[in-house]
């Protein structure tokens, strides 16, 4: 029979059955924790319920001769396995990179990795490669089914910068042209333009003017030192056609002459000749015959609509001098007299007098004194152009003599 003042208590102890051997701990509730220094892992202990008189501490007195002891419940405490995470490398990195997390190992260990407290499916090895931001923990279960959870390791994945650019115009153009490439902007962005995957020296601005053919890319680095490379943009620069004029002969000639100008030939070429910078109507063939003075150029347009203009060819047309004879006096006279024949004077003029179509030796001045009958002409030359006057008849009548 229990006395009204008997108390119920629980003891953690060694020994089995109703034997209370080496009590380790006591409580009014059947809940106990491992007592370091007073207990050993792997040893069987018992939790027994006791009813007896009060020991003055709210628990039954173990010395009570009427103490009632229930059969003890065996319990064994096992040391919890070690759960640690060691990162192999930086835990803050750029998107697309990763960090290897190594868990502590031990015989019989099983593993479960978690991200932000949620099990990662399939992540049951002692090593895990983290690629996204989060707080990573590792649950380790040993062969006693004891579970330990590591402290969290924070992984931070920085997003890559935006690497894109927009051409401000056509990306196919003629030599001598260009296209502006404008990059997307962002705080702290640093730029490096590339042509055919090679850095372009000094091309570190938000915009770049491409003037040569190639595949252009943009490498963008942000404040976290994360780098992204844009997709390539192909720029095509078409060569200019060949525009050269080759005269077929002299380009300086006398009035009434001409110079044939030959333009360079090419597949799909179209032509426009110009004189002094003005289009010559209808002059659209690769050859042109120039008959007047001026600076001639040739504009050539090819199948890519690229245009080139030749260097100028100067054509000079020299006018003929005035060739005329003015007699100073009668052209019919008696033997022993003469008549002066004058030709027009001009800068650079040279003269050759003729009588009956034959050059008069030494008669190379602007005037000539005719003393003999004949048909006189004068050939006047300037700048290589020669004009011959109409004939002037000089007559010396036969003389009738009486003796």
Query: How far, in Å, CA of 74 to CA of 66, rounded?
Result: 24
Q: Nearest CA to 64 among 54, 79, 74, 72?
A: 54
What are the residues facing 135 on neighbouring strands?
154
Residue 403: inside a domain, yes or no? no
User: CA distances (Å), 299 to each of 178, 191, 265, 283, 304, in order?
Assistant: 21, 41, 12, 11, 14
Query: How far, in Å, CA of 323 to CA of 306, rounded?
Result: 51
Largest interatomic CA distance in the chain: 214
Same-domain status, 233 and 260: no
Residue 402: inside a domain, yes or no? no
Q: What is the pLDDT of residue 403?
A: 42
Q: Which domain holds residue 96?
A: 85-158
Residue 388: inside a domain, yes or no? yes
User: CA distances (Å), 206 to each of 177, 183, 234, in order?
Assistant: 20, 5, 18
Q: Residue 169's CB: how many other CB atoms inside 10 A?
A: 10
Residue 401: inside a domain, yes or no? no
**Pairing mode, if any, of strands 214-221 and 367-370?**
unpaired
The CATH code of the domain that includes 353 is 2.60.40.10
The separation between CA 169 and the C-alpha centre of its own chain, rounded to angstroms, equals 14
Same-domain status, 138 and 179: no
Q: What is the pLDDT of residue 397?
A: 83
Q: What is the pLDDT of residue 399?
A: 62
Residue 284: inside a domain, yes or no? yes
**Pairing mode, if any, of strands 294-301 and 278-279?**
unpaired
Same-domain status, 71 and 40: yes
Q: What is the pLDDT of residue 2?
A: 59
* Rounded mean pLDDT for each run of 10 residues along the chain, 403 residues in total: 72 72 81 74 80 75 75 76 94 98 94 98 98 98 91 98 98 98 96 98 98 98 97 98 98 97 97 98 98 98 97 98 96 92 96 97 97 97 97 84 46
3-state secondary structure of 76: strand
Same-domain status, 311 and 249: yes
Ramachandran category for residue 206: left, alpha or beta (phi over 0 → left; psi -120 to 50 → alpha): alpha
Q: How many domains does the chain fold into?
A: 5
Last residue of a domain, one of 100, 127, 158: 158
Last residue of a domain, one of 76, 98, 129: 76
Strands (E), 28-98: 44-52, 68-69, 73-76, 85-88, 92-94
Query: How far, in Å, CA of 105 to CA of 324, rounded?
Result: 124
Last residue of a domain, one of 142, 158, 174: 158
Same-domain status, 348 and 306: no
Q: What is the pLDDT of residue 17?
A: 58
User: CA distances (Å), 374 to each of 120, 333, 392, 393, in order?
Assistant: 128, 12, 8, 6
Residue 119: inside a domain, yes or no? yes
Query: How far, in Å, CA of 13 to CA of 394, rounded?
Result: 168
Q: What is the pLDDT of residue 33?
A: 78
Whether the full predicted model's pTM is greater than 0.75, yes or no, is: no
Contact 72, 16 (CB under 8 A): yes
Q: How many residues does the chain have?
A: 403
Same-domain status, 372 and 334: yes
């Amino acid at each position: 029979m229990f006395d009204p003042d008997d108390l119920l208590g629980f003891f953690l102890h060694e020994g089995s059955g109703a034997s209370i051997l080496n009590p380790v701990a006591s409580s009014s509730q059947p809940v106990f924790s491992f007592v370091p220094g007073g207990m050993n892992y792997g040893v069987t202990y018992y939790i027994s319920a006791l009813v007896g008189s009060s020991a003055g501490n709210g628990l039954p007195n173990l010395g009570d001769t009427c103490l009632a002891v229930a059969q003890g419940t065996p319990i064994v405490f096992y040391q919890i396995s070690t759960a640690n995470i060691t990162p192999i490398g930086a835990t803050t990195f750029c998107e697309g990179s990763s960090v290897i997390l190594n868990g502590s190992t031990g015989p019989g260990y099983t593993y479960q990795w978690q991200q932000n407290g949620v099990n990662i499916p399939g992540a049951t090895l002692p090593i895990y490669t983290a690629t996204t931001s989060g707080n990573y923990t590792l649950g380790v279960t040993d062969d006693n089914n004891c579970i330990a959870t590591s402290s969290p390791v924070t992984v931070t994945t920085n997003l890559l910068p935006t690497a894109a650019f927009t051409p401000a115009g056509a990306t196919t153009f003629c030599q001598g042209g260009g296209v502006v490439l404008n990059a997307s902007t962002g705080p702290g962005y640093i730029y490096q333009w590339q042509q055919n995957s090679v850095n372009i020296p000094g091309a570190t601005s938000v915009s770049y003017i491409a003037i040569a053919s190639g595949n252009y890319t943009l490498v963008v680095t942000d404040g976290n030192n994360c780098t992204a490379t844009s997709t390539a943009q192909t720029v095509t620069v078409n060569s200019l056609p060949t525009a050269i004029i080759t005269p077929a002969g002299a380009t300086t000639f006398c009035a009434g002459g001409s110079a044939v100008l030959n333009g360079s030939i090419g597949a799909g070429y179209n032509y426009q000749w110009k004189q002094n910078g003005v289009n010559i109507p209808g002059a659209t063939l690769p050859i042109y015959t120039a008959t007047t003075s001026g600076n001639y150029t040739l504009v050539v347009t090819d199948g890519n609509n690229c245009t080139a203009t030749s260097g100028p060819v100067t054509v000079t047309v020299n006018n003929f001098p005035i060739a005329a004879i003015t007699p100073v006096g009668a052209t019919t006279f008696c033997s022993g007299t003469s008549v002066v024949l004058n030709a027009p004077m001009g800068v650079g003029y040279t003269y050759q007098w003729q009588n009956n179509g034959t050059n008069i030796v030494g008669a190379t001045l602007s005037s000539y004194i005719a003393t003999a009958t004949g048909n006189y002409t004068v050939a006047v030359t300037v700048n290589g152009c020669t004009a011959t006057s109409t004939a002037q008849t000089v007559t010396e009548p036969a003389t009738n003599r009486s003796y």
